[in-house]
Structure 1
Amino acid sequence: MLDLFFDQRHRLIGLAARITGCRSQAEDIVHDAYMKVGGAGGDEQIRSQASYLARVVRNLSIDHYRRRQLEERLMCSEDEEGESLAHPSETPESLVADQQMLERITGVLADMPERTRYAFEMCRIHGMKQKDIATALGVSPALVNALIRDAMLRCREVL
């Protein structure tokens, strides 16, 4: 697997860079993918290791991109708005609508059971892995997955 990784490294970085828009983040993602795949073992069970490695890089890149977009939307405070890149198409009405939507989601999160809210925030906002959340909560990864899914469904109902 190590030889394959070195042979495909530039192609994988290019794949990740196209999705994330940043070469340095792409290099980090490729490294994470290798650590994930290399730590999994079982090389003989994977029919096409190159395709598998590319799929892992693609999925990690998409996760990273989505997490970054969510963080940018949720974490941008009013003080930072002047410094951040403002979209010229943003109107006062759309800003108010976005603020109202954020307030509704915040209300939904506040009404959730603490364990559900913690699992959702750690996974979707802070990027923690579900198995790490399960360890922190002392529950199974399957339950963490169900908690996150429940939180997502509640947020979608509000939207």
Structure 2
Amino acid sequence: MAQSVSTSSCDSSLLQAFVDNRLMLVKTAARITGCRSRAEDVVQDAFFRLQSAPQITSSFKAQLSYLFQIVRNLAIDHYRKQALEQKYSGSEEEGLNVVIQGASPETSHINFRVLENIADALGELPSRTRYAFEMYRLHGMPQKDIAKELEVSPTLVNFMIRDALVHCRKVSDTLSDTFARR
């Protein structure tokens, strides 16, 4: 594929050296990444880094070495990132066969019962305590905003949330003891 890049638009000798040696830089990156397409991405990243790099007023050979070192380093970083992604990723079929821990019908039933009992326990609380707990724990509203809305102090809201949590834990512990005895 022929490349038609205007070399007259380069502002520095380093960028000019980059444009003149682009194909060799791509080949160097391709040897490391194992893919010409990824190598093109690496070289493009190098170009963007060079645009913000300080001017180098050394010899042409030193500039060329600098370019190849940048491309080599970026290609190695890209290769390492790709290897890490492949290590922790799998095929779609593997994902479909993953066993979800605690997904038995019995566990699902127990969890559903616990949630029902906690909902019942929240229903036993005074309305503003329940409201403060739900807004803070379920909706993530800051306590100071809840205090403004309920026209109480933030300290009182903190105590209301704590009381609701203690009440829910008691219900949950009682239920857990019931299931443990079975």
Task: Provide the TM-score with structure 2 as the length reference.
Answer: 0.41
Task: Provide the TM-score with structure 1 as the length reference.
Answer: 0.46
Which structure: larger Rg? 2
Where relative contact order (Cα < 8 A, 6+ residues apart) is larger, the structure is 1
